[in-house]
Structure formats: C-alpha cells, structure tokens
Amino acid sequence: MHEILRVQKLGKNHGGYHGETIDIRAVLNEVETATQSRGWASEIFHAHDGFKWLALHRSPEAASQKSEVGIYISAGIHGDEPAGPLAALKLLQENHWPPDIEIFLLPCLNPAGFTLNKRENADGTDLNRDYRNPQAAETRAHIAWLERQPKFDLYLCLHEDWESHGFYLYEQNPYAKPSLAEKMIGAVQKVCPIDQSETIEERAAKNGIVRPNISPQERPDWPEAFYLITQKSRRGYTLEAPSDFPLPVRVNALVAAVNAALINLL
C-alpha cells in the first residue's frame, strides 16, 4: 500500500502524451486469443486498412440467468491512450466476470490512431466528437452495431488524460440511479492516485468525481458517452486514467474501476 501511494507523475507529458506506446495489432491478437475457449462471441463490425473492429459478447452463464443485466465497455477511441485496450485485455485474461452479467466489450474503437500515437483516427477526426452526426466510417459502423444491441444497464468508456494528476471519472446519471462513482474511486485509490483537483477540464470535481450537468442537446459534437446516455443506457461512466503515470498503474486503475462497477452493480 505505501509502495503504491508513492507512485509519482513521470513528468513526460508536455503538450500531449509522451509515454509508452503499444503495438495495437499484437494487443488485439492477444484479445482474440484471450476470448477463445472462454465463451465469448466475437464480431467484426468494421474493417479497414488491415484493422478489425471487434465487438465481444459474453452471455450470462446458463446456470445463473437470474438477472438480465447488460454492461457495455469500450476502449481505445483515442489512439494516444494505451491503457484502455490493455485494461480490456487484462480483464479478459483475468476472466473474473460476475456470472449473472451480460457483457459487451469493444476493446479498441480507433486502432489506426494507436499506430500513429494520435488521439484522432488516420484522417485526423476525433472520433469521440463524431457521435451526433457521424461522418467517420468507423463511427457509423459502431453506431450501426449499437443499434442492433439491447439497452445496457451501464456503460463504461475507458480513457486516459495526459494532463491529469490522478485518476478521475465522469458520471452520467440523469435518472438518479444508484451511483457507482464512489465505489470505483474507492477501488482505484488502492492502486493509483486520485486527482483531487477541485476543477477538472473546467468542471467542478470532488475526490476524482465529475458530475457534469450538460444537456446533450445543447452540444453539437457528441462524444460516444452522449450517444450512449441518450440512446442506449440510463447510467454510465467515462473513466480517465492519468497517462503521465507508469502504464501498469493506469491499466490497474481502469481494471479496478471496471471490477468495482461489476461487483456493485447487482
């Protein structure tokens, strides 16, 4: 514990992310390997330039289908945020999914961005601003896939922030359902510092929790989360790992947050 609390910023991120990069093709190959023999269905909902966009689906175990809870988890929409796809891979490899929960896991929404270590896709589009009037082929394919899915009880979007002083999250909970925010922060703080800033990205924050009061209708450039909260889910979180910290710390932070949400959902 004391070891963990001494984790410090690396001081590498000046003007953007300058930390470790990943070989996204190798990571996605490992993802596919991890899903095999573990009961996951894998769908390719888009392919371009040698990349495959994967949607993984895990049904609740037949013996324990007492609930119909579905969770959507996505990662890798920004190509300079490697902890997201790595966290998706680690969650698959650890394979500690609650048996009653149906999981939809999209491990990487912007594979080309990772080969460039860029936030945007290969054409320079920030895909996470493309969900209101989608222009990019991968956003359109993603939304077409989403339209074929049932509603989700919860969405979790895995991100990183190159400027932040620790982990934080955004909560979207317009129907005042039970919040999972404090549970996730409580789990993450054992493995990664929490950003204690009172303002994060120009919004009020408390103990790493940002509860933005924004009407999606007032914003022209929707992130994925706005599409999800208006069309697919009544509650969700955007998780932000601090990318000026060592990569394993950030991966562990995202994994801890997801596991805390899963455990406390039912």
The contact set with Zn ion (CB under 5 A) reads 78, 81, 159
Single-letter amino acid code for the residue at 164: S
Q: How many other CB atoms are there within 10 angstroms of residue 231's CB atom?
A: 13
Nearest to 132 by CA among 241, 25, 243, 230: 230
CA gyration radius for the chain? 17
For Zn ion, which is the closer residue by CB, 81 or 138? 81
* Min CB(39)–Zn ion separation in Å: 30
* Min CB(68)–Zn ion separation in Å: 30
* Min CB(78)–Zn ion separation in Å: 4
Distances (CA, A) of 136 to 82, 93, 130, 158: 21, 31, 7, 20
CA gap 121, 115 in Å, rounded: 10
Taking 3-state DSSP, the helix, strand and coil percentages for the chain, each rounded to the nearest 5, stand at 35, 25, 45
* Min CB(74)–Zn ion separation in Å: 11
For Zn ion, which is the closer residue by CB, 80 or 102? 80
* Min CB(126)–Zn ion separation in Å: 9
For Zn ion, which is the closer residue by CB, 66 or 219? 219
For Zn ion, which is the closer residue by CB, 60 or 166? 166
For Zn ion, which is the closer residue by CB, 17 or 51? 17
